[in-house]
Structure 1
């Protein structure tokens, strides 16, 4: 059904890069944030391909900051979630990134991937349960603005992670929480992810994992190595259609 094994009764969708192209906007915000920080220290710029995919993509904001800085041998105080965007802390840098992200979103209308909308509609018509699972704290705003909210029955996101004390991806906690909310066992749910951390989370949770490779190059193989059961360039491929 819909390119999935017959035993699958629920679909857990990542947001950025799977349902909406907000991954591009996230990448721009991360790149600008880190480059400003690195330039002030005379350090090599952030690589929007390798650094983004390896250390940032799919993770909670603070984890992305911490993991990237660690890769460069940099340590900052954790700070608190209320830190100013100008604070030289992990939370401060994360809040700076979010400030830039919201400005970028305001500058242009964000539209979901048409094939993802079609897939959601057909999943709903087929009686499959549906949830969005994202590390972004802006998930509700994005799914509301793009008209996806009515097609999604549950939402586990950056706000949920903080409120319920969940571990972010690559830990499986968020997907397990979404499955729990939908009332399905992990083995009967499919995870749709474009990030290596998200694929690893789906694999760790015992889900069927669909990797979405919108990057090309070696990313598809990286998704497979991280645990994807199948890799497609677009959800249209699962429907047997052209993207």
Structure 2
């Protein structure tokens, strides 16, 4: 292992955004719950079965927005029309629900702001000082705005986000496509890249893509699940990899 805590064969680091770089995973989960509970209440009345943290972890976390909507609805046996990406938030379509969730998310971000994990920012500077390439790989359509809000855009050589995936026709996590694209953009093979993720879908993407090292970041106490889904190592904070406190 090097001073970065990574195997010496690693030449690039690929980071998820929400829950790894920023404290927005909780905000995303709250926005998903707000949207799905409102939809289910409208559909089933006050006896509806609420959206839970388990639903978030199994069906939504780490996936592109529309994929998360589809996966959760399928888990409840609910079939909705796809609609169009520009459907209004009130539309009872897959894209309409996704846009309703994004509206709730942006409201929460504007109200509460965005915070970065200091340990991750320190670790990013460590790996860059060691000469490793860095990429942000996120299913969020708001990735660039969030990076700008925390003044971290210059810490990444490459950005692969929802816009990139749509433009290139890349499948979202748990498929490895976005991580593979980021590695290629950095001029390395997947075997020469490390993936840093907090979502189970991200672990599966790292394993499926044959990446050289997959690091799970356990912010919510699901260490065993991260290992089960493909992590080579699980840490509470990335600062641990460089031997510093969180």
Q: TM-score range by the shorter chain?
A: over 0.9
Q: How does 1:215-230 map to 2 (within 5 A)?
A: 215-216=220-221, 219-230=222-233
| 1:108 Cα deviation after fit | 2.1
| 1:130 Cα deviation after fit | 0.1
Aligned equivalent of 2:65: 61
Aligned equivalent of 1:9: 11
Q: State the SS of the aligned residue for 2:191.
A: helix
Q: C-alpha separation between the residues in 2 aligned to 1:106 and 1:41? A: 29
Aligned equivalent of 2:241: 238
Aligned equivalent of 1:212: 217
Q: How does 1:8-47 map to 2 (within 5 A)?
A: 8-42=10-44, 43-47=48-52
Aligned equivalent of 1:107: 111
Q: State the SS of the aligned residue for 1:41.
A: helix
Q: How does 1:150-229 map to 2 (within 5 A)?
A: 150-207=154-211, 208-216=213-221, 219-229=222-232
Question: TM-score, normalising length from structure 1?
Answer: 0.97
Unaligned runs of 5+ in 2: none
Q: C-alpha separation between the residues in 1 aligned to 2:185 and 2:229? A: 26
Q: C-alpha separation between the residues in 1 aligned to 2:240 and 2:16? A: 17
| 1:161 Cα deviation after fit | 1.1
| 1:41 Cα deviation after fit | 2.3
Displacement over 2 Å in runs of 4+: none
Match of 1:81 among 61, 67, 85: 85
Q: State the SS of the aligned residue for 1:197.
A: helix
Q: State the SS of the aligned residue for 1:88.
A: coil
Q: C-alpha separation between the residues in 2 aligned to 1:214 and 1:111? A: 14
- The number of equivalent residue pairs is 240
Q: C-alpha separation between the residues in 2 aligned to 1:157 and 1:150? A: 16
| 1:29 Cα deviation after fit | 0.5
Question: TM-score, normalising length from structure 2?
Answer: 0.96
Aligned equivalent of 1:97: 101
The root-mean-square deviation of aligned C-alpha atoms, in Å, is 0.7
Q: How does 1:129-148 map to 2 (within 5 A)?
A: 129-148=133-152
Q: State the SS of the aligned residue for 2:43.
A: coil
| 1:50 Cα deviation after fit | 0.5
| 1:201 Cα deviation after fit | 0.3
